[in-house]
């Protein structure tokens, strides 16, 4: 029963392929003891699961590719047989039932191809369109629909007019040639041997061209007359040239001679023969050029492939000759190149796969190198993502017989994984062998992990020499470090495995872990101290800049006040010299008091502005103690300036100097108009008012400074 059901399902291979591609998957869940009849009914129902009205073909799927390959046969059949039957009537009539059967089978395949084309989806902004209505509308408005429609026009009804021996009425079937080009292009992109396929495609085109020319030559010979001259086909009365095979083979050979310009062809005698030869020679030039061009492209591509797969041997040879390298070394290099070429060793994998996306390169590298990398002990049980990153870093290397991979005491920059070949661990004399490393072994992994406490450090501990030709993968220390920086857990895991290996070998110092912990603590402390030192340096720089700015502004203000005081020259009348000097001195004191009051008011405004700028500037992170010290220093400078001005006014030398200056100026001006008593009375008033104003100004400055200090403290508490 099962066999019967399988036969019923697999009756048509193409139906099964359609169901597999686009049909709905029906899960077959059965229990033990289900009857065979129920299984048959379930399998028969699968035939009708395909919804033909909504069936859509994806042009990227395998079914579409297979169908294009199938469509090659009807297209080539029509291009070869229609012209053959038209020119060789004997062949056409001898196998007429076969030709008619193949004709209508090709028409049926053309019709099926139209149905598949209607249901073939297309990409719109990267998304496959599966709406059948939209697909039908797009196909009906395309040029391919007109071409397909013309190729299926029922021109066979013209047999009734011209007779069954006129297959030229099916000439419209030849317009399906774009389908053949599409199929060949798809095959070229999928084949593993594209150069061979290009040559084969070129030969197919040349064969069809020579075939058409042979048919036309036979038809022209029939028109002129067989055997009328040496150029046309010989007379068929000769039994040697009467058979159908001889007719076709002779015409094909004659046409090939013309197109390839090889051999001597008979000279034409008639005008028709000359025209035919001229057309053939022109076509022959194009054929010859196409053959030479395509073959040249194939050879160039093969050479480019060799240059990518193998390093350029010719340049290396030229370099060795120019530098007079020894013959022994040149022979070793030649042997190395010969080994690569004979055994097809690929040394430039990254350049070959460079044009592919990263994820595809990763998948290729995983499928090629991951089995080898997973055999390394230290990489076992690591994350798969880590291994996928590492496989992209593996570099293939080939070592010749007797060549040292590494020597004892060398600094290790990479580890090696043996892919193929044998390597020996030898003594310093190069003769004594301690061990032999074979496929899947590895060495040098400890030197690239930088494990603390490793007695050997990064030095190699053995001599490794290649016995024969050895294929190795190398993983550099820099690549491993870059990958492990993204996987800290894997880094700790690898270091722990490395410590275990070193412990078994007796190459790990016990104090190594302790020293590593202490080193980490010291590094942490140093980092903290450096950060704090940077903060303190920043604050110190800001305070120094504030101090310089404040002192510069204060110095400029004091100089301005001294200049204004010295520039003031009170004009007071003098009557008697003693009273005038006394009044002049008191007057000067009053003027100085007034100037001091004005200066104190401006100083207060300047101080308020400076303190506000200090509180709202870029140094918002300066401490509260620094603000208090800065304000206190400004306050002391102001008090010192005021006390200095007062002491200067009370100093007798300073007063005497002012009196002398004023006396000289009053003498130049002449006697005053007022009385001495009135001047003295007025001078006393001015002196008292000046002192009172100076005291009030000082009290005001002190009060403003206290308010500023209080505001800064409040702001500091808020911060």
DSSP annotation string for 295-325: HHHHHHHHHHHHHHHS--HHHHHHHHHHTT-
Distance CA 423, CA 403 (A): 10
Domain identity same for 178 and 261: no
- Asked if 128 and 284 count as a contact pair (C-beta separation under 8 A), the reply is no
**Which pLDDT score is estimated for 338?**
77
Is 356 inside a domain boundary? yes
Query: Average pLDDT of 466-480?
Result: 87
Give the model's pLDDT for residue 103.
Answer: 93
Check the CA dihedral 204-208-213-214 and report its sign.
positive
Residue 662: per-residue pLDDT: 47
Q: Report the SS3 class of residue 229.
A: coil
Distance in angstroms (rounded) separating the CA atoms of residues 111 and 176 = 12
Determine the pLDDT at residue 151: 92
Question: Measuring CA to CA, which residue among 53, 83, 62 is closest to residue 18?
Answer: 62
Higher pLDDT, 239 or 29: 239
- 713 three-state secondary structure: helix
Arithmetic mean of pLDDT, 404-427:
87
Task: Report whether pLDDT(449) > 80.
Answer: no
Same domain, 485 and 372: yes
103/214 same-domain check: no
Each residue's pLDDT tens digit, 159-179: 888 888 888 999 999 999 999
Q: Let me know if residue 516 belongs to a domain.
A: no
What percent of the chain lies above the pLDDT cut of 90? Answer: 17
Judged by average pLDDT, the poorest of 131-135, 223-227, 625-629 is 625-629
Q: What is the pLDDT of residue 306?
A: 67
Alpha-carbon torsion (148, 154, 156, 158), positive or negative? negative
pTM: 0.52
Greatest mean pLDDT among 50-64, 385-399, 701-715 lies in: 385-399
pLDDT, residue 637, reads: 53
pLDDT digits (tens, 9 = 90+) for 592-644: 444 444 444 544 544 444 444 444 444 444 344 444 444 455 545 545 554 54
In a domain, 524, yes or no: no
Instruction: Give the per-residue SS3 of 485-496.
Output: CCCHHHHHHHHH
CATH of the domain at 378: 2.60.120.10
CA angle 691/693/696 to nearest 5° reads 110
Q: Are 235 and 280 in contact (CB under 8 A)?
A: no
Q: What is the pLDDT of residue 107?
A: 93
Residues 586, 658 contacting (CB under 8 angstroms): no
User: Does 371 share its domain with 503?
Assistant: yes
What's the pLDDT at 171? 93
Alpha-carbon torsion (509, 510, 511, 513), positive or negative: positive
Any idea what the CATH number is for the domain that residue 233 is in?
A: 1.10.287
Please tell me whether residues 492 and 397 are part of one structural domain.
yes
Per the structure, the complete domain to which residue 419 belongs is given by: 346-509
Q: Tens of pLDDT along 495-521? A: 787 777 778 777 777 654 555 556 667
198 and 286 in a single domain? The answer is yes
Residue 42: inside a domain: yes
- Chain mean pLDDT for the chain: 75
In the listed set 493, 509, 525, which residue is the last one of a domain according to the structure? 509
Q: Mind listing the pLDDT tens digit for each residue in 653-678?
A: 444 544 455 444 444 444 444 444 44
**Residue 695 to residues 519, 595, 652, 687, Cα–Cα distance (Å):** 66, 13, 21, 12
Residue pLDDT, tens place only, 50-96:
566 678 888 888 899 999 999 999 999 999 999 999 999 888 888 99
Residue 529: inside a domain, yes or no? no
Q: Are residues 134 and 79 in the same domain?
A: yes
Residues 687-701, mean pLDDT to the nearest whole number: 59
Residues 322 and 466 in one domain: no
The number of beta carbons lying within 10 Å of the beta carbon of residue 644 is 11
- Residue 561 is predicted with a pLDDT of 86
213 lies in the same domain as 151: no
336 and 295 in a common domain: no
Query: What's the gap between Cα 638 and its chain centre?
Result: 67
Residue 526: inside a domain, yes or no?
A: no
Alpha helical stretches, state H, 394-510: 477-484, 488-505
Residues 239 and 180 in one domain: no
**What is the per-residue pLDDT across 314-349, written as a single tens digit (0 to 9) for each?**
788 888 888 888 888 888 888 888 777 777 777 777
Q: Are residues 351 and 433 in the same domain?
A: yes
Residue 490 lies in a domain: yes
The answer to whether residues 425 and 437 touch, using CB atoms and an 8 Å cutoff, is yes
Residue of 558, 564, 596 whose CA lies nearest to 695: 596
* Residue 519 counted as domain residue: no
In total, how many domains does the chain have? 6
């Amino acid at each position: 029963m099962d066999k019967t059901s399988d036969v019923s399902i697999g009756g048509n291979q193409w139906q099964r392929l359609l169901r597999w591609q686009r049909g709905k998957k029906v899960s077959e869940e059965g229990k033990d003891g289900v009857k065979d009849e129920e299984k048959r009914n379930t399998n028969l129902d699968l035939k009708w699961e395909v919804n033909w009205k909504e069936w859509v073909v994806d042009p990227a799927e395998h079914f579409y590719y297979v169908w294009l390959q199938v469509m090659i046969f009807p297209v080539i059949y029509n291009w070869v047989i229609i012209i053959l039957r038209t020119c060789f009537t004997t062949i056409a009539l001898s196998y007429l039932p076969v030709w008619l059967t193949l004709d209508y089978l090709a028409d049926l395949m053309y019709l099926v191809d139209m149905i598949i084309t209607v249901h073939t989806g297309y990409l719109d902004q990267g998304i496959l369109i599966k709406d059948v209505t939209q697909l039908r509308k797009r196909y009906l408005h395309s040029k391919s629909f007109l071409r397909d429609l013309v190729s299926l026009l029922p021109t066979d009804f013209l047999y009734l007019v011209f007779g069954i021996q006129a297959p030229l009425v099916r000439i419209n079937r030849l317009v399906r040639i774009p389908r053949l080009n599409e199929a060949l292009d798809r095959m070229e992109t999928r084949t593993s041997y594209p150069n061979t396929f290009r040559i084969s495609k070129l030969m197919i085109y040349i064969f069809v061209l020579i075939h058409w020319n042979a048919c036309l030559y036979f038809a022209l010979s029939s028109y002129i007359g067989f055997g009328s001259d040496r150029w046309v086909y010989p007379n068929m009365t000769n039994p040697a040239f009467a058979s159908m095979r001889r007719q076709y083979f002779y015409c094909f050979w004659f046409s090939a001679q013309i197109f390839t310009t090889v051999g001597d062809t008979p000279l034409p005698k008639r005008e028709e023969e000359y025209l035919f030869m001229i057309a053939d020679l022109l076509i022959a030039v194009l054929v010859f050029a196409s053959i030479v061009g395509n073959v040249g492209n194939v050879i160039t591509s093969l050479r480019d492939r060799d240059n990518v797969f193998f390093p350029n041997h010719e340049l290396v040879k030229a370099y060795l000759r120019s530098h007079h390298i020894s013959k022994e070394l040149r022979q070793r290099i030649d042997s190395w190149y010969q080994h690569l070429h004979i055994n097809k060793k690929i040394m430039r994998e990254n350049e070959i796969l460079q044009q592919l996306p990263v994820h595809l390169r990763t998948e290729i590298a995983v499928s090629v190198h991951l089995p080898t990398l997973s055999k390394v002990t230290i990489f076992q049980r690591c994350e798969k993502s880590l291994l996928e990153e590492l496989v992209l870093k593996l570099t293939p290397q080939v070592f010749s017989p007797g060549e040292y991979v590494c020597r004892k005491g060398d600094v290790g920059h990479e580890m090696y994984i043996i892919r193929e070949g044998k390597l020996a661990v030898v003594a310093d004399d190069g003769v004594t062998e301690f061990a032999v490393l074979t496929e899947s072994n590895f060495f040098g992994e400890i030197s690239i992990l930088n494990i603390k406490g490793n007695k050997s450090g990064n030095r190699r501990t053995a001599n490794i020499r290649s016995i024969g030709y050895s294929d190795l993968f190398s993983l550099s220390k820099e690549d491993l470090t870059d990958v492990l920086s993204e996987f800290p857990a894997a880094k700790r895991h690898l270091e722990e495995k490395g410590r275990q290996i070193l412990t078994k070998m007796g190459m790990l110092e016990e104090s190594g872990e302790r020293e590593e912990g202490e080193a980490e603590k010291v590094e942490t402390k140093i980092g903290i101290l450096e950060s704090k030192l940077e903060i303190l340096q920043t604050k110190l720089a800001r305070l120094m800049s504030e101090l310089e700015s404040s002192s510069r502004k204060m110095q400029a203000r004091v100089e301005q006040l001294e200049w204004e005081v010295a520039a003031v020259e009170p004009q007071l009348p003098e009557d008697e010299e003693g009273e005038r000097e006394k009044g002049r001195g008191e007057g000067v004191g009053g003027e100085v008091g007034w100037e001091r009051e004005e200066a104190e008011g401006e100083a207060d405004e300047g101080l308020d502005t400076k303190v506000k700028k200090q509180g709202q500037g870029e140094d918002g992170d300066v401490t509260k103690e620094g603000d208090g010290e800065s304000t206190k220093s400004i306050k002391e400078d102001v008090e010192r300036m005021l006390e200095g001005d007062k002491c200067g006014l009370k100093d007798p030398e300073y007063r005497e100097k002012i009196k002398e200056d004023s006396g000289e100026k009053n003498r130049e001006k002449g006697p005053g108009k007022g009385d001495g008593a009135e001047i003295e009375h007025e001078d006393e008033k001015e002196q008292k008012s000046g002192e009172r104003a100076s005291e009030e100004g000082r009290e005001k400055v002190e009060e403003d400074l206290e308010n500023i200090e209080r505001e800064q403290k409040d702001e500091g508490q808020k911060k």
